[in-house]
Amino acid sequence: MIKLLILPEVLIDAAQKGGDSKALLEKARQEGFQAWVLADSTQRLVLAGIASKKVAETLQGFAQIPINARLSEEALALGGNFENQLVKLAAKYFKIDQIVGLGPERKREEVATLPVQDALKLTEDPLAKVDFMNLFLQVQPIFNQVDGWYMEIINNTAFAGGNHVAAFEEAFATYCGTKYAVGVGSGTDALRFAMLAAGIGQGDEVLVPTNTFMATSESVTQCGATPVFVDVLPGTYNMDPKAAEKAITSKTKALLPVHLYGQPADMDALLSLAEKKGLLLIEDACQAHGATYKGKRAGSMGAAAAFSLYPGKNLGAFGEAGAITTNDPEIARLAKQYREHGQSKKYYHASEGYNGRMDNLQAASVRAKLPLLDGWNQKRRERAQWYFEGLGKVSQVTLPKEADGAQSVWHLFVILVPEAQKLMDHLATKNISTAYHYPVPLHLQDAYQFMGLGRGTFPVAENAADHLLSLPLFPELNKAQIERVIAEIKAFFGA
């Protein structure tokens, strides 16, 4: 995507006169461009006599580059015109493709600016790379807020735990519709601590779908329990409730369904099964932030739920982080205890535990993103619909199924195709990035060969592993890029 830095004079001209400057701002707000402004643009617009409502309208949708101490010091050290040096440094650090000014009559010394009239002619390169994901674009709308919060955290040296952790926990519990949320160090920590707090341990068996990431099963083992793998449903690739029922033994303590690829599992059937058999149900919601099942948020239906806040998730931190949600006060209390070496209070250890705290910097990043999550998820749903419309008549492509009552947030968009590796290679030659999720089901991983579960044990999951391909999908992906992906898939199959 083309990244623009729109200078304050363009904003002022758009607010005062409209014309080409206003047209550029409207174009920059469209999907094909990512536009930045300098953080002092608000002040510059106000000083130019622009009304506050007009200022807000003019700046709507643009990310702001903060003019912080580092940027100012470097600009001063370079000498010359301070404002021009700030512009150049901002463009360098934020990887700006074009700086847009008013035109030759207002050209800045030392700064190569593109006139508004030429900027209006900019179009996307049709051969540009289509990324599988682009985390840099997601940072834009929160950059200024996070920059301020990070300065506060650094000044207060409040790194481990802290005010942002508590604020995020409260906000995330409210968002998920639960009484409690507990911030932890990773999604794996969230799974482990949720199960330990629910009483799962040595001698217990936990049912796990074999089509998932390793963290789901290894967290069971790390609790002292045994993962028992079950097959998944075609189309949704989530835990098969009938297969789960057949796998229950006298040692089974819990079901651990995964809301895979952003779609909730068949919760009516699984909750009914858990109640009938007297089992716990822990949700692995690590890919399903904001997804709903019959009006209920993922993370609000089981005894507890685990979320990963890894950077690539729908709600991702700037590093490792995770969260547990629950309505059970005892599970919440014990989860907090496990994340801090088993402490009931500082230096008083009720049990052994782990170093699994969420740090304040990560909490600030996801706290800033949380208000934007529903909007991002809606954009994911729109983009998924473009794939459904574009690939629906390609006979060689089996599209994912959204189950009745489930509203997926499309963390991943996977298609089932005859020759997944060849299609992946073809798309790579066209600068389109794809991925596998997951190429080897858990029961066939080397780590679990001792179980003796060979190929053919779980045919649906094995077929998914052999033939699923994950296509590019993230909120900032534009329709032209998705149409390119669709066209190349059709060309590959001769459709």
pLDDT in tens, 384-407: 999 999 999 999 999 999 999 999
Task: State the Cα–Cα distance between residues 156 and 175, nearest whole angstrom.
Answer: 28
Q: Which residues, in sequence order, are bridge partners of residue 345?
A: 348
How many CB atoms sit inside 10 A of residue 94's CB? Answer: 17
Q: How confident is the model at residue 237 (pLDDT cuts 50, 70, 90)?
A: very high
Name the least confident of 143-152, 328-337, 423-432: 143-152
Helices and strands, counts by H and E, the chain: 20, 19
* pLDDT per residue as tens digits for the range 159-175: 998 999 999 999 999 99
- pTM (predicted TM-score): 0.88
Taking the alpha carbons at both ends of the chain, their separation in whole angstroms is 28
Q: How confident is the model at residue 147 (pLDDT cuts 50, 70, 90)?
A: confident
Task: State the Cα–Cα distance between residues 114 and 485, nearest whole angstrom.
Answer: 31
- The first and second tokens of residue 412, run together, are 């991943």
- The first and second tokens of residue 183, run together, are 């911030």
Q: Which residues, in sequence order, are bridge partners of residue 280?
A: 254
**What does the mean pLDDT of the chain come to?**
94
pLDDT of residue 32: 63
What domains are defined for the chain?
2-123 (3.40.50.1010), 145-371 (3.40.640.10), 373-493 (3.90.1150.10)
Q: How confident is the model at residue 31 (pLDDT cuts 50, 70, 90)?
A: low
> In this model, does residue 331 exceed pLDDT 80?
yes
pLDDT of residue 33: 77
230: three-class secondary structure by DSSP: strand
Q: How confident is the model at residue 129 (pLDDT cuts 50, 70, 90)?
A: confident
pLDDT of residue 136: 82
Average pLDDT value for residue range 471-476: 96
pLDDT of residue 139: 86
Cβ-based burial of 348 (10 A; exposed 0-12, middle 13-18, buried ≥19): exposed
